[in-house]
């Protein structure tokens, strides 16, 4: 009989893909702060607003005509589940910013239904974020944010706003729905930025 119990494990998971304090799930739990808004495709739009009244917007058809990317990423929910190797399809935020001129450093993501979350612009650009409309080769279910959600997989998943409507660029980092009531302004799972 060994001196050290074979059941002993440190806090660190043996799976290096899991950030501290996270466990892997095979499910895709639905987390939502309210009822899911219903957005018909002909009423959907995605907008970006910046300084000087600059406002770009795309209809669903215009959005679908943009270059689309296949995305495979791990996702990490602050409630401690992680889902590894999820596959998505969507438009890179870099593509959406091609014609945006701004000196602003932060964004507030606005969702249909009123949800908001704040993300620094440098966490949205450089191949790190998408507006995704397909999950696991199927159109994104309404419960998971369909028609389209923000996908920022390197931050806790509350930053990946469901039913995303647009990005408002701001000079300051303005706390969103959860960030204004106890959650971390940034939300990096590898640094366990869970709470403020």
Residue 112 in contact with another protein, rule: CB under 8 A: yes
- Give the integer Cα–Cα distance in Å for 49 and 89: 24
DSSP-derived 3-state class of residue 191: helix
For residues 87 and 48, give the distance between their C-alpha atoms in angstroms, rounded to a whole number: 25
- Binding flags for another protein, 132-161, as an x/- string (CB under 8 A): ---------xxxx-x-----------x---
Nearest to 95 by CA among 64, 74, 116, 119: 64
- Is 180 among the residues that bind another protein (CB under 8 A)? yes
**Residue 50 binds to another protein (criterion: CB under 8 A):** no
Beta strand 55-59 with 45-49 is: antiparallel
Closest contact distance (angstroms) between CB of 95 and another protein is 23
- Minimum CB separation from another protein for residue 139, in Å? 8
**CA–CA separation, 118 and 106 (whole Å):** 7
Q: What is the dihedral of CA 82, 83, 87, 88, to 10 degrees?
A: -50
Is 78 among the residues that bind another protein (CB under 8 A)?
yes
Q: Which residue among 17, 30, 64, 65 contacts another protein (CB under 8 A)?
A: 30
Q: Least distance in Å: CB of 182 to another protein?
A: 3
- Interacting residues toward another protein by CB under 8 A: 29-38, 78-79, 108, 110, 112-116, 141-144, 146, 158, 168, 176-178, 180-183, 194-195
């Amino acid at each position: 009989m060994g001196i050290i119990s074979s059941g002993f494990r440190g806090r660190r998971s043996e799976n290096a893909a899991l950030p501290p304090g996270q466990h892997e799930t095979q499910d895709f739990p639905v987390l939502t702060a309210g009822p899911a808004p219903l957005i018909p495709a002909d009423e959907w739009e995605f907008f970006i607003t910046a300084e000087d009244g600059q406002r770009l917007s795309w209809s669903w058809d215009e959005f679908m005509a943009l270059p689309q990317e296949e995305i495979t990423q791990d996702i990490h929910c602050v409630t401690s589940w992680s889902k590894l190797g999820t596959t998505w399809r969507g438009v890179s935020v870099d593509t959406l910013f091609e014609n945006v001129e701004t000196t602003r450093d932060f964004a507030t993501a606005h969702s249909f239904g009123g949800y908001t979350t704040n993300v620094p612009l440098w966490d949205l650009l450089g191949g790190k974020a998408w507006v995704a409309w397909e999950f696991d080769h199927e159109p994104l279910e309404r419960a998971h944010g369909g028609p389209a959600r923000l996908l920022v997989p390197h931050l806790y998943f509350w930053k990946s706003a469901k039913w995303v409507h647009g990005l408002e660029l701001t000079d300051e980092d303005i706390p969103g729905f959860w960030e204004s009531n106890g959650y971390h302004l940034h939300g990096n799972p590898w640094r366990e930025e869970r709470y403020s």
